[in-house]
Structure 1
Amino acid sequence: MPPSTSPTLRQRRLGAELRKLREHAGLTATAAAALLGLKQGQISSIEAGRYPVGADRVRTFARSYSCADEPLVEALASMTGGRKRGWWDDYREYLPVGLIDLAELEHHATALRVALVIHMPALLQTTDHARALFREVVPPMRQYEIEHRLTHRMKRQEILHRATPTPYTAVIHESALRMGFGGAVVSRAQLQHLVEMSELPNVCVRVIPFGHVPFPGTGQSVDYLAGPVPRLDTVQLDTHHGCEFLDAEAQLTKYRSVLDRMERGALEPSPSRHLIHKLAKEL
Protein backbone atom coordinates (compact mmCIF):
# COMPACT_ATOMS: atom_id res chain seq x y z
CA MET A 1 0.00 0.00 0.00
CA PRO A 2 1.43 3.42 -0.96
CA PRO A 3 2.34 5.97 1.69
CA SER A 4 -0.37 8.40 2.77
CA THR A 5 0.19 12.08 2.07
CA SER A 6 -2.32 13.11 4.76
CA PRO A 7 -2.19 10.67 7.68
CA THR A 8 -4.86 10.99 10.34
CA LEU A 9 -4.09 11.91 13.93
CA ARG A 10 -4.60 8.27 14.89
CA GLN A 11 -2.06 7.13 12.29
CA ARG A 12 0.41 9.78 13.40
CA ARG A 13 -0.05 8.71 17.02
CA LEU A 14 0.77 5.09 16.18
CA GLY A 15 3.92 6.21 14.40
CA ALA A 16 4.91 8.47 17.28
CA GLU A 17 4.50 5.62 19.77
CA LEU A 18 6.68 3.35 17.63
CA ARG A 19 9.29 6.12 17.58
CA LYS A 20 9.16 6.33 21.39
CA LEU A 21 9.73 2.57 21.63
CA ARG A 22 12.71 2.83 19.28
CA GLU A 23 14.24 5.74 21.16
CA HIS A 24 13.69 4.00 24.51
CA ALA A 25 15.66 1.08 23.10
CA GLY A 26 18.51 3.47 22.27
CA LEU A 27 18.32 2.85 18.52
CA THR A 28 18.70 5.35 15.72
CA ALA A 29 16.34 5.08 12.74
CA THR A 30 19.27 3.75 10.70
CA ALA A 31 20.08 1.07 13.29
CA ALA A 32 16.41 0.09 13.58
CA ALA A 33 16.12 -0.21 9.81
CA ALA A 34 19.14 -2.53 9.69
CA LEU A 35 17.70 -4.60 12.56
CA LEU A 36 14.30 -4.93 10.89
CA GLY A 37 15.49 -5.35 7.30
CA LEU A 38 13.99 -2.07 6.14
CA LYS A 39 15.26 1.16 4.67
CA GLN A 40 15.82 4.14 6.94
CA GLY A 41 13.28 6.09 4.89
CA GLN A 42 10.65 3.44 5.59
CA ILE A 43 11.23 3.73 9.32
CA SER A 44 10.86 7.51 9.09
CA SER A 45 7.66 7.21 7.03
CA ILE A 46 6.16 4.70 9.45
CA GLU A 47 6.98 6.89 12.43
CA ALA A 48 5.41 9.89 10.68
CA GLY A 49 2.22 7.88 10.14
CA ARG A 50 2.59 8.10 6.36
CA TYR A 51 3.20 4.40 5.76
CA PRO A 52 0.70 1.75 6.99
CA VAL A 53 1.91 -1.19 9.02
CA GLY A 54 0.15 -4.39 10.02
CA ALA A 55 -0.39 -5.78 13.50
CA ASP A 56 2.29 -8.47 13.10
CA ARG A 57 4.85 -5.89 12.01
CA VAL A 58 4.09 -3.75 15.05
CA ARG A 59 4.68 -6.79 17.26
CA THR A 60 7.96 -7.41 15.42
CA PHE A 61 9.00 -3.79 15.98
CA ALA A 62 8.16 -4.06 19.69
CA ARG A 63 10.10 -7.30 20.07
CA SER A 64 13.11 -5.83 18.26
CA TYR A 65 12.89 -2.80 20.57
CA SER A 66 12.77 -5.08 23.66
CA CYS A 67 9.34 -3.83 24.69
CA ALA A 68 7.79 -6.24 27.19
CA ASP A 69 4.62 -4.20 27.80
CA GLU A 70 2.18 -6.65 26.23
CA PRO A 71 -1.00 -4.58 26.78
CA LEU A 72 0.67 -1.59 25.10
CA VAL A 73 1.91 -3.71 22.18
CA GLU A 74 -1.55 -5.18 21.59
CA ALA A 75 -3.13 -1.73 21.86
CA LEU A 76 -0.73 -0.46 19.19
CA ALA A 77 -1.44 -3.52 17.05
CA SER A 78 -5.15 -2.68 17.19
CA MET A 79 -4.39 0.74 15.66
CA THR A 80 -2.81 -0.74 12.52
CA GLY A 81 -4.04 -1.41 9.03
CA GLY A 82 -4.61 0.67 5.97
CA ARG A 83 -6.57 3.87 5.81
CA LYS A 84 -10.02 2.73 7.00
CA ARG A 85 -12.74 5.10 5.91
CA GLY A 86 -15.15 6.29 8.59
CA TRP A 87 -18.27 8.45 8.38
CA TRP A 88 -16.16 11.47 9.38
CA ASP A 89 -14.25 11.25 6.09
CA ASP A 90 -17.33 12.54 4.28
CA TYR A 91 -16.66 15.91 5.95
CA ARG A 92 -12.99 16.35 5.04
CA GLU A 93 -13.83 18.76 2.24
CA TYR A 94 -16.00 20.92 4.50
CA LEU A 95 -14.59 20.99 8.03
CA PRO A 96 -11.23 21.72 9.71
CA VAL A 97 -9.06 18.65 10.04
CA GLY A 98 -9.10 18.93 13.84
CA LEU A 99 -12.84 18.19 13.92
CA ILE A 100 -12.32 15.16 11.68
CA ASP A 101 -9.55 13.85 13.93
CA LEU A 102 -11.70 14.44 17.02
CA ALA A 103 -14.58 12.40 15.59
CA GLU A 104 -12.22 9.52 14.78
CA LEU A 105 -10.68 9.63 18.27
CA GLU A 106 -14.12 9.66 19.90
CA HIS A 107 -15.18 6.69 17.79
CA HIS A 108 -12.26 4.60 19.06
CA ALA A 109 -12.12 5.91 22.65
CA THR A 110 -12.86 3.44 25.44
CA ALA A 111 -14.29 6.24 27.63
CA LEU A 112 -14.74 10.01 27.54
CA ARG A 113 -14.47 12.61 30.28
CA VAL A 114 -15.27 16.26 29.61
CA ALA A 115 -15.33 19.44 31.69
CA LEU A 116 -16.92 22.70 30.60
CA VAL A 117 -17.52 26.12 32.14
CA ILE A 118 -19.26 28.16 29.41
CA HIS A 119 -20.65 25.66 26.91
CA MET A 120 -22.69 22.48 27.00
CA PRO A 121 -20.85 19.28 26.09
CA ALA A 122 -20.95 18.85 22.30
CA LEU A 123 -22.17 15.26 22.57
CA LEU A 124 -25.10 16.36 24.76
CA GLN A 125 -26.25 19.35 22.70
CA THR A 126 -29.55 19.64 20.88
CA THR A 127 -29.56 20.65 17.24
CA ASP A 128 -31.11 24.04 18.02
CA HIS A 129 -28.58 24.77 20.77
CA ALA A 130 -25.66 23.83 18.51
CA ARG A 131 -27.06 25.95 15.68
CA ALA A 132 -27.28 28.95 18.03
CA LEU A 133 -23.61 28.45 18.94
CA PHE A 134 -22.45 28.16 15.33
CA ARG A 135 -24.24 31.38 14.45
CA GLU A 136 -21.97 33.20 16.91
CA VAL A 137 -18.71 31.90 15.44
CA VAL A 138 -16.16 34.53 14.40
CA PRO A 139 -15.77 35.07 11.50
CA PRO A 140 -19.41 34.26 10.64
CA MET A 141 -20.10 31.02 8.77
CA ARG A 142 -22.33 30.66 5.74
CA GLN A 143 -25.54 28.70 6.22
CA TYR A 144 -24.23 25.62 4.41
CA GLU A 145 -21.15 25.66 6.67
CA ILE A 146 -23.39 25.73 9.73
CA GLU A 147 -25.37 22.77 8.41
CA HIS A 148 -22.19 20.75 7.81
CA ARG A 149 -21.09 21.48 11.39
CA LEU A 150 -24.51 20.51 12.71
CA THR A 151 -24.74 17.16 10.95
CA HIS A 152 -21.14 16.36 11.92
CA ARG A 153 -21.86 17.15 15.58
CA MET A 154 -25.03 15.06 15.62
CA LYS A 155 -23.18 12.12 14.00
CA ARG A 156 -20.53 12.35 16.72
CA GLN A 157 -23.25 11.83 19.32
CA GLU A 158 -24.04 8.34 17.99
CA ILE A 159 -21.23 6.82 20.08
CA LEU A 160 -23.47 7.32 23.13
CA HIS A 161 -26.27 5.26 21.58
CA ARG A 162 -24.55 2.42 19.70
CA ALA A 163 -24.83 -1.24 20.70
CA THR A 164 -21.85 -0.88 23.03
CA PRO A 165 -22.11 2.80 24.02
CA THR A 166 -19.06 4.73 25.12
CA PRO A 167 -18.96 5.58 28.86
CA TYR A 168 -19.26 9.36 29.12
CA THR A 169 -18.75 11.63 32.13
CA ALA A 170 -19.46 15.36 31.85
CA VAL A 171 -18.67 17.90 34.56
CA ILE A 172 -20.48 21.15 33.81
CA HIS A 173 -20.25 24.39 35.74
CA GLU A 174 -23.56 26.07 36.57
CA SER A 175 -22.54 29.06 34.45
CA ALA A 176 -22.83 26.90 31.31
CA LEU A 177 -26.37 25.96 32.29
CA ARG A 178 -27.35 29.63 32.55
CA MET A 179 -25.78 31.01 29.36
CA GLY A 180 -29.08 31.03 27.48
CA PHE A 181 -27.80 30.45 23.93
CA GLY A 182 -30.68 30.62 21.47
CA GLY A 183 -33.14 32.17 23.91
CA ALA A 184 -35.46 30.76 26.56
CA VAL A 185 -37.21 28.13 24.43
CA VAL A 186 -33.97 26.68 23.05
CA SER A 187 -32.29 26.83 26.47
CA ARG A 188 -35.18 25.08 28.21
CA ALA A 189 -35.18 22.29 25.63
CA GLN A 190 -31.41 21.96 25.98
CA LEU A 191 -31.61 21.61 29.76
CA GLN A 192 -34.40 19.05 29.49
CA HIS A 193 -32.36 17.11 26.96
CA LEU A 194 -29.39 17.20 29.34
CA VAL A 195 -31.53 15.67 32.08
CA GLU A 196 -32.78 12.95 29.74
CA MET A 197 -29.28 12.11 28.52
CA SER A 198 -27.99 11.96 32.10
CA GLU A 199 -30.39 9.09 32.76
CA LEU A 200 -28.69 6.83 30.22
CA PRO A 201 -26.66 4.11 31.96
CA ASN A 202 -23.44 5.11 30.16
CA VAL A 203 -23.81 8.88 30.73
CA CYS A 204 -22.93 10.67 33.96
CA VAL A 205 -23.61 14.41 34.27
CA ARG A 206 -22.35 16.29 37.31
CA VAL A 207 -22.77 19.99 37.98
CA ILE A 208 -20.48 22.35 39.86
CA PRO A 209 -22.83 24.97 41.34
CA PHE A 210 -21.86 28.57 41.94
CA GLY A 211 -19.92 29.05 45.18
CA HIS A 212 -19.52 25.33 45.75
CA VAL A 213 -15.71 24.91 45.68
CA PRO A 214 -12.61 26.70 44.41
CA PHE A 215 -12.40 25.98 40.70
CA PRO A 216 -9.31 24.09 39.41
CA GLY A 217 -7.67 24.88 36.10
CA THR A 218 -8.23 27.86 33.79
CA GLY A 219 -11.85 27.25 32.91
CA GLN A 220 -10.90 25.96 29.46
CA SER A 221 -13.08 23.21 27.99
CA VAL A 222 -11.35 19.83 28.26
CA ASP A 223 -12.08 16.53 26.51
CA TYR A 224 -10.21 13.50 27.82
CA LEU A 225 -10.34 10.53 25.46
CA ALA A 226 -9.26 7.25 27.01
CA GLY A 227 -7.35 4.82 24.85
CA PRO A 228 -7.08 1.05 25.29
CA VAL A 229 -4.19 1.69 27.72
CA PRO A 230 -3.50 4.93 29.65
CA ARG A 231 -0.40 5.72 27.61
CA LEU A 232 -2.61 6.08 24.52
CA ASP A 233 -5.02 8.57 26.09
CA THR A 234 -5.49 11.95 24.40
CA VAL A 235 -6.55 15.38 25.67
CA GLN A 236 -8.40 17.75 23.37
CA LEU A 237 -8.66 21.44 24.21
CA ASP A 238 -11.00 23.90 22.51
CA THR A 239 -9.25 27.07 21.38
CA HIS A 240 -10.21 30.04 19.21
CA HIS A 241 -7.99 28.68 16.46
CA GLY A 242 -9.39 25.13 16.57
CA CYS A 243 -8.76 21.80 18.29
CA GLU A 244 -5.52 21.25 20.15
CA PHE A 245 -4.47 17.67 20.95
CA LEU A 246 -2.09 16.69 23.75
CA ASP A 247 -0.65 13.27 24.52
CA ALA A 248 2.62 13.78 26.43
CA GLU A 249 2.68 11.81 29.68
CA ALA A 250 3.02 14.93 31.83
CA GLN A 251 0.09 16.57 30.05
CA LEU A 252 -2.13 13.52 30.47
CA THR A 253 -1.26 13.34 34.16
CA LYS A 254 -2.04 17.03 34.61
CA TYR A 255 -5.46 16.89 32.98
CA ARG A 256 -6.42 13.67 34.74
CA SER A 257 -5.70 15.50 37.99
CA VAL A 258 -7.73 18.56 36.91
CA LEU A 259 -10.70 16.38 35.96
CA ASP A 260 -10.44 14.38 39.19
CA ARG A 261 -10.55 17.60 41.23
CA MET A 262 -13.48 18.92 39.26
CA GLU A 263 -15.43 15.70 39.75
CA ARG A 264 -14.72 15.75 43.48
CA GLY A 265 -16.08 19.30 43.65
CA ALA A 266 -19.23 18.55 41.65
CA LEU A 267 -22.63 17.42 42.82
CA GLU A 268 -23.55 13.76 42.51
CA PRO A 269 -25.66 12.83 39.44
CA SER A 270 -29.05 12.92 41.18
CA PRO A 271 -28.64 16.39 42.78
CA SER A 272 -27.16 17.57 39.48
CA ARG A 273 -30.29 16.47 37.61
CA HIS A 274 -32.42 18.22 40.22
CA LEU A 275 -30.52 21.49 39.74
CA ILE A 276 -30.72 21.28 35.94
CA HIS A 277 -34.44 20.57 36.11
CA LYS A 278 -34.91 23.53 38.49
CA LEU A 279 -33.09 25.90 36.12
CA ALA A 280 -35.18 24.65 33.17
CA LYS A 281 -38.40 25.40 35.05
CA GLU A 282 -37.21 28.94 35.76
CA LEU A 283 -36.95 29.77 32.04
Structure 2
Amino acid sequence: MPGRQNPTFRQRRLGAELRKMRERAGLGGSQLARTLGVSAAQVTQMESGKTSVSMDRLQTIAAACNCDNQLFIGTLSGISTRKKGWWERYRHQLPDTLLESAEHEDFATGTIRHWASAIIPGLLQTEEYARGVFNRHLPPVPADELNLRTSFRLERRARFLEDPRKKLEIYIHESSLVTRYGGTAVLRSQLHSLIDDTAGEAVCIRVIPFAAHTYPGPIENFAYSYGQVPELDTVEMEASTGPIFYDSLNELESYRRVLDRIEKSSLDADESRDLIHHTAKTLKG
Protein backbone atom coordinates (compact mmCIF):
# COMPACT_ATOMS: atom_id res chain seq x y z
CA MET A 1 0.00 0.00 0.00
CA PRO A 2 1.52 3.34 -1.03
CA GLY A 3 2.27 5.78 1.76
CA ARG A 4 0.78 9.24 2.21
CA GLN A 5 2.40 11.85 0.01
CA ASN A 6 1.78 14.77 2.37
CA PRO A 7 1.35 13.65 5.99
CA THR A 8 -0.20 16.23 8.30
CA PHE A 9 1.45 17.82 11.31
CA ARG A 10 -0.18 15.31 13.66
CA GLN A 11 0.82 12.31 11.51
CA ARG A 12 4.41 13.52 11.26
CA ARG A 13 4.56 14.11 15.01
CA LEU A 14 3.33 10.60 15.79
CA GLY A 15 6.00 9.21 13.47
CA ALA A 16 8.68 11.40 15.07
CA GLU A 17 7.75 10.14 18.53
CA LEU A 18 7.98 6.52 17.33
CA ARG A 19 11.44 7.24 15.96
CA LYS A 20 12.55 8.85 19.22
CA MET A 21 11.14 5.90 21.18
CA ARG A 22 13.13 3.49 19.02
CA GLU A 23 16.32 5.54 19.29
CA ARG A 24 16.03 5.79 23.09
CA ALA A 25 15.86 1.99 23.13
CA GLY A 26 19.07 1.83 21.07
CA LEU A 27 17.36 -0.03 18.23
CA GLY A 28 18.04 0.42 14.53
CA GLY A 29 15.21 0.52 12.04
CA SER A 30 16.06 -2.96 10.76
CA GLN A 31 16.10 -4.38 14.30
CA LEU A 32 12.64 -3.01 15.05
CA ALA A 33 11.39 -4.23 11.68
CA ARG A 34 12.44 -7.80 12.48
CA THR A 35 10.66 -7.61 15.84
CA LEU A 36 7.48 -6.36 14.18
CA GLY A 37 7.74 -8.77 11.27
CA VAL A 38 7.72 -5.98 8.69
CA SER A 39 10.27 -4.51 6.31
CA ALA A 40 12.69 -1.75 7.27
CA ALA A 41 10.98 0.40 4.64
CA GLN A 42 7.68 0.04 6.52
CA VAL A 43 9.33 1.25 9.73
CA THR A 44 10.67 4.26 7.82
CA GLN A 45 7.17 4.93 6.45
CA MET A 46 5.65 4.83 9.94
CA GLU A 47 8.33 7.11 11.37
CA SER A 48 7.83 9.67 8.60
CA GLY A 49 4.06 9.74 9.15
CA LYS A 50 3.36 8.25 5.73
CA THR A 51 1.74 5.08 7.06
CA SER A 52 -1.03 4.69 9.64
CA VAL A 53 -0.19 3.07 12.96
CA SER A 54 -2.92 1.06 14.68
CA MET A 55 -3.29 0.97 18.47
CA ASP A 56 -2.17 -2.66 18.50
CA ARG A 57 0.91 -1.86 16.41
CA LEU A 58 1.69 1.09 18.70
CA GLN A 59 1.54 -1.13 21.77
CA THR A 60 3.82 -3.67 20.08
CA ILE A 61 6.36 -0.97 19.21
CA ALA A 62 6.27 0.38 22.78
CA ALA A 63 6.87 -3.11 24.18
CA ALA A 64 9.75 -3.72 21.75
CA CYS A 65 11.30 -0.42 22.86
CA ASN A 66 10.78 -1.16 26.58
CA CYS A 67 8.63 1.96 26.94
CA ASP A 68 6.28 1.58 29.90
CA ASN A 69 5.14 5.22 30.18
CA GLN A 70 1.44 4.42 29.88
CA LEU A 71 0.30 8.06 29.88
CA PHE A 72 2.64 8.79 26.98
CA ILE A 73 1.61 5.65 25.10
CA GLY A 74 -2.07 6.42 25.70
CA THR A 75 -1.59 9.94 24.36
CA LEU A 76 0.10 8.56 21.24
CA SER A 77 -2.84 6.16 20.82
CA GLY A 78 -5.15 9.15 20.87
CA ILE A 79 -3.11 10.76 18.11
CA SER A 80 -3.19 7.61 15.99
CA THR A 81 -6.99 7.32 16.19
CA ARG A 82 -7.76 11.05 15.98
CA LYS A 83 -10.46 11.95 13.48
CA LYS A 84 -10.01 14.73 10.96
CA GLY A 85 -10.20 18.24 12.40
CA TRP A 86 -12.36 21.21 11.41
CA TRP A 87 -9.52 22.67 9.32
CA GLU A 88 -9.84 19.85 6.79
CA ARG A 89 -12.76 21.75 5.25
CA TYR A 90 -10.17 24.19 3.95
CA ARG A 91 -7.90 21.50 2.49
CA HIS A 92 -7.05 22.17 -1.19
CA GLN A 93 -8.45 25.70 -0.81
CA LEU A 94 -5.70 27.21 1.35
CA PRO A 95 -1.99 26.42 1.63
CA ASP A 96 -1.27 23.42 3.87
CA THR A 97 1.05 25.65 5.90
CA LEU A 98 -1.94 27.62 7.23
CA LEU A 99 -3.78 24.43 8.13
CA GLU A 100 -0.77 23.12 10.05
CA SER A 101 -0.87 26.08 12.45
CA ALA A 102 -4.50 25.29 13.27
CA GLU A 103 -3.68 21.61 13.71
CA HIS A 104 -0.81 22.49 16.05
CA GLU A 105 -3.10 24.69 18.15
CA ASP A 106 -5.64 21.87 18.36
CA PHE A 107 -2.84 19.44 19.27
CA ALA A 108 -1.99 21.53 22.33
CA THR A 109 -3.92 20.54 25.43
CA GLY A 110 -2.96 23.34 27.79
CA THR A 111 -1.29 26.72 27.52
CA ILE A 112 0.28 28.24 24.42
CA ARG A 113 2.94 30.88 25.07
CA HIS A 114 3.40 33.13 22.04
CA TRP A 115 6.15 35.65 21.30
CA ALA A 116 5.70 38.28 18.57
CA SER A 117 8.02 41.20 17.91
CA ALA A 118 6.05 43.40 15.51
CA ILE A 119 2.58 41.93 14.95
CA ILE A 120 -0.45 40.89 16.97
CA PRO A 121 -0.52 37.07 16.97
CA GLY A 122 -3.09 35.44 14.70
CA LEU A 123 -5.15 33.95 17.54
CA LEU A 124 -6.07 37.45 18.74
CA GLN A 125 -6.43 39.27 15.42
CA THR A 126 -9.66 41.01 14.49
CA GLU A 127 -11.14 40.54 11.03
CA GLU A 128 -9.94 43.86 9.59
CA TYR A 129 -6.50 43.56 11.17
CA ALA A 130 -6.13 40.07 9.68
CA ARG A 131 -7.09 41.47 6.28
CA GLY A 132 -4.45 44.14 6.69
CA VAL A 133 -1.85 41.49 7.49
CA PHE A 134 -2.76 39.37 4.47
CA ASN A 135 -2.85 42.44 2.22
CA ARG A 136 0.85 43.09 2.79
CA HIS A 137 1.77 39.96 0.82
CA LEU A 138 3.63 40.32 -2.45
CA PRO A 139 2.36 39.40 -4.93
CA PRO A 140 -1.08 40.39 -3.61
CA VAL A 141 -3.44 37.66 -2.45
CA PRO A 142 -6.48 37.31 -4.80
CA ALA A 143 -9.73 38.64 -3.34
CA ASP A 144 -11.39 35.21 -3.02
CA GLU A 145 -8.36 33.77 -1.23
CA LEU A 146 -8.11 36.86 0.99
CA ASN A 147 -11.69 36.31 2.15
CA LEU A 148 -11.03 32.60 2.74
CA ARG A 149 -7.81 33.25 4.66
CA THR A 150 -9.59 35.78 6.85
CA SER A 151 -12.51 33.45 7.56
CA PHE A 152 -10.09 30.67 8.41
CA ARG A 153 -8.13 32.86 10.81
CA LEU A 154 -11.29 33.99 12.59
CA GLU A 155 -12.42 30.39 12.97
CA ARG A 156 -8.98 29.50 14.42
CA ARG A 157 -9.43 32.30 16.95
CA ALA A 158 -12.97 31.35 17.89
CA ARG A 159 -12.30 27.63 18.30
CA PHE A 160 -9.21 28.18 20.42
CA LEU A 161 -10.77 30.78 22.72
CA GLU A 162 -13.91 28.67 23.16
CA ASP A 163 -11.92 25.67 24.40
CA PRO A 164 -12.02 25.75 28.23
CA ARG A 165 -8.89 23.57 28.47
CA LYS A 166 -6.66 26.12 26.81
CA LYS A 167 -5.03 29.37 27.83
CA LEU A 168 -3.00 31.87 25.88
CA GLU A 169 0.04 33.78 27.15
CA ILE A 170 1.04 36.48 24.67
CA TYR A 171 4.36 38.31 24.85
CA ILE A 172 4.68 41.19 22.40
CA HIS A 173 7.03 44.09 21.86
CA GLU A 174 5.49 47.56 22.06
CA SER A 175 6.17 47.97 18.35
CA SER A 176 3.29 45.51 17.80
CA LEU A 177 0.95 48.11 19.30
CA VAL A 178 1.85 50.81 16.78
CA THR A 179 2.36 48.89 13.51
CA ARG A 180 -0.73 49.82 11.50
CA TYR A 181 -1.80 46.83 9.44
CA GLY A 182 -4.97 48.08 7.77
CA GLY A 183 -4.57 51.66 9.01
CA THR A 184 -5.04 53.63 12.21
CA ALA A 185 -8.73 52.91 12.74
CA VAL A 186 -8.17 49.19 12.26
CA LEU A 187 -5.28 49.19 14.72
CA ARG A 188 -7.26 51.14 17.31
CA SER A 189 -10.10 48.61 17.06
CA GLN A 190 -7.55 45.79 17.35
CA LEU A 191 -6.10 47.27 20.53
CA HIS A 192 -9.56 47.61 22.08
CA SER A 193 -10.16 43.97 21.16
CA LEU A 194 -6.98 42.98 23.03
CA ILE A 195 -8.24 44.79 26.11
CA ASP A 196 -11.52 42.88 25.87
CA ASP A 197 -9.67 39.58 25.38
CA THR A 198 -7.76 40.02 28.64
CA ALA A 199 -10.91 40.64 30.68
CA GLY A 200 -11.22 36.91 31.43
CA GLU A 201 -8.71 34.34 32.62
CA ALA A 202 -8.04 32.62 29.27
CA VAL A 203 -5.79 35.32 27.79
CA CYS A 204 -2.81 37.09 29.37
CA ILE A 205 -0.85 39.72 27.44
CA ARG A 206 2.57 40.98 28.52
CA VAL A 207 4.35 43.81 26.67
CA ILE A 208 8.06 44.59 26.41
CA PRO A 209 8.12 48.42 26.28
CA PHE A 210 10.29 50.60 24.08
CA ALA A 211 12.03 51.68 27.28
CA ALA A 212 13.55 48.22 27.64
CA HIS A 213 17.15 48.28 26.40
CA THR A 214 16.68 45.06 24.43
CA TYR A 215 14.70 41.88 24.50
CA PRO A 216 16.17 38.41 24.96
CA GLY A 217 14.50 36.56 22.14
CA PRO A 218 14.56 35.93 18.41
CA ILE A 219 13.17 38.38 15.88
CA GLU A 220 11.00 35.61 14.45
CA ASN A 221 7.59 34.97 16.01
CA PHE A 222 7.14 31.62 17.71
CA ALA A 223 4.65 29.73 19.84
CA TYR A 224 5.39 27.18 22.57
CA SER A 225 2.54 24.77 23.22
CA TYR A 226 2.21 22.39 26.15
CA GLY A 227 1.03 18.88 25.33
CA GLN A 228 -0.80 16.36 27.47
CA VAL A 229 2.62 15.01 28.45
CA PRO A 230 5.90 17.00 28.42
CA GLU A 231 7.28 14.86 25.59
CA LEU A 232 4.60 16.30 23.32
CA ASP A 233 5.37 19.98 23.89
CA THR A 234 5.99 21.75 20.57
CA VAL A 235 7.55 24.95 19.27
CA GLU A 236 6.17 26.50 16.10
CA MET A 237 8.47 29.07 14.49
CA GLU A 238 6.97 31.37 11.87
CA ALA A 239 8.81 31.65 8.57
CA SER A 240 7.98 33.15 5.19
CA THR A 241 7.77 29.66 3.69
CA GLY A 242 5.49 28.34 6.43
CA PRO A 243 5.80 27.12 10.03
CA ILE A 244 8.80 25.17 11.26
CA PHE A 245 8.19 22.79 14.17
CA TYR A 246 10.68 21.77 16.85
CA ASP A 247 10.16 18.95 19.34
CA SER A 248 13.53 17.66 20.58
CA LEU A 249 13.98 17.92 24.34
CA ASN A 250 17.01 20.20 23.97
CA GLU A 251 15.14 22.56 21.63
CA LEU A 252 12.12 22.67 23.92
CA GLU A 253 14.28 23.49 26.94
CA SER A 254 16.04 26.24 25.00
CA TYR A 255 12.77 27.93 24.01
CA ARG A 256 11.39 27.65 27.54
CA ARG A 257 14.46 29.54 28.77
CA VAL A 258 13.97 32.19 26.09
CA LEU A 259 10.33 32.67 27.10
CA ASP A 260 11.25 32.92 30.78
CA ARG A 261 13.77 35.66 29.94
CA ILE A 262 11.20 37.46 27.80
CA GLU A 263 8.72 37.29 30.67
CA LYS A 264 11.25 38.91 33.04
CA SER A 265 11.74 41.78 30.56
CA SER A 266 7.98 42.38 30.17
CA LEU A 267 5.58 44.61 32.01
CA ASP A 268 3.15 42.73 34.21
CA ALA A 269 -0.37 42.02 32.96
CA ASP A 270 -1.97 45.13 34.50
CA GLU A 271 0.80 47.44 33.31
CA SER A 272 0.57 45.91 29.84
CA ARG A 273 -3.18 46.41 29.76
CA ASP A 274 -2.72 50.06 30.75
CA LEU A 275 -0.12 50.55 28.01
CA ILE A 276 -2.41 49.02 25.38
CA HIS A 277 -5.26 51.28 26.53
CA HIS A 278 -3.02 54.37 26.48
CA THR A 279 -1.71 53.53 23.01
CA ALA A 280 -5.23 53.06 21.63
CA LYS A 281 -6.30 56.38 23.18
CA THR A 282 -3.37 58.39 21.81
CA LEU A 283 -3.11 56.93 18.29
CA LYS A 284 -3.10 59.69 15.69
CA GLY A 285 -3.61 59.57 11.95
TM-score band, normalised by the shorter chain?
A: over 0.9
Cα deviation per residue 1:207-229 (whole Å; 9 max; x = unaligned)? Answer: 11112353112321111122222
Q: Counterparts in 2 of 1:100-111, with a 5 A limit?
A: 100-110=99-109, 111=111
Q: Give the equivalent residue in structure 2 for 1:97.
A: 96
Q: Kindly indicate whether the alpha-carbon contact (under 8 Å) linking 1:12 and 1:48 is maintained by their aligned counterparts in 2.
A: yes
Q: Give the equivalent residue in structure 2 for 1:274.
A: 274
Partner SS state of residue 267, structure 1: coil
Structure 1 position 19 matched with structure 2 position 19? yes
Between stretches 6-15 and 206-215, larger displacement belongs to: 206-215
The one-letter amino acid paired with 2:106 is H
Q: Give the equivalent residue in structure 2 for 1:60.
A: 60
Alignment partners' CA distance in 1, 2:238 and 2:31:
40
Alignment partners' CA distance in 2, 1:80 and 1:189:
42
1:244 Cα deviation after fit: 1.7
Structure 2 residue runs of 5 or longer lacking an equivalent are none
Alignment partners' CA distance in 1, 2:209 and 2:28:
53
- Percent identity, please: 39
Q: Give the equivalent residue in structure 2 for 1:77.
A: 77
Q: Give the equivalent residue in structure 2 for 1:173.
A: 173
Q: TM-score, normalised by structure 1?
A: 0.93
Cα deviation per residue 1:211-259 (whole Å; 9 max; x = unaligned)? Answer: 2353112321111122222221221112222222222222212111111
Alignment partners' CA distance in 1, 2:95 and 2:85:
16
Structure 1 residue runs of 5 or longer lacking an equivalent are none
Partner SS state of residue 80, structure 2: coil
Partner SS state of residue 251, structure 1: helix
Alignment partners' CA distance in 2, 1:13 and 1:183:
39
The one-letter amino acid paired with 1:108 is F
Partner SS state of residue 241, structure 1: coil
Alignment partners' CA distance in 1, 2:233 and 2:144:
34
Partner SS state of residue 136, structure 1: coil
Aligned-residue Cα RMSD (Å) equals 1.8
1:165 Cα deviation after fit: 4.4
1:170 Cα deviation after fit: 0.2
Q: Kindly indicate whether the alpha-carbon contact (under 8 Å) linking 1:208 and 1:267 is maintained by their aligned counterparts in 2.
A: yes
Cα deviation per residue 1:8-41 (whole Å; 9 max; x = unaligned)? Answer: 1111111111112112222222221221233333
Q: Give the equivalent residue in structure 1 for 2:262.
A: 262
Partner SS state of residue 238, structure 2: strand
Q: Give the equivalent residue in structure 1 for 2:130.
A: 130
Q: Kindly indicate whether the alpha-carbon contact (under 8 Å) linking 2:161 and 2:202 is maintained by their aligned counterparts in 1.
A: no
The one-letter amino acid paired with 2:258 is V
Alignment partners' CA distance in 1, 2:98 and 2:233:
17
Alignment partners' CA distance in 2, 1:191 and 1:142:
27
Q: Give the equivalent residue in structure 1 for 2:248.
A: 248
The one-letter amino acid paired with 2:153 is R
Alignment partners' CA distance in 2, 1:232 and 1:163:
19
What is the count of residue pairs matched by the alignment?
282
Partner SS state of residue 79, structure 2: coil
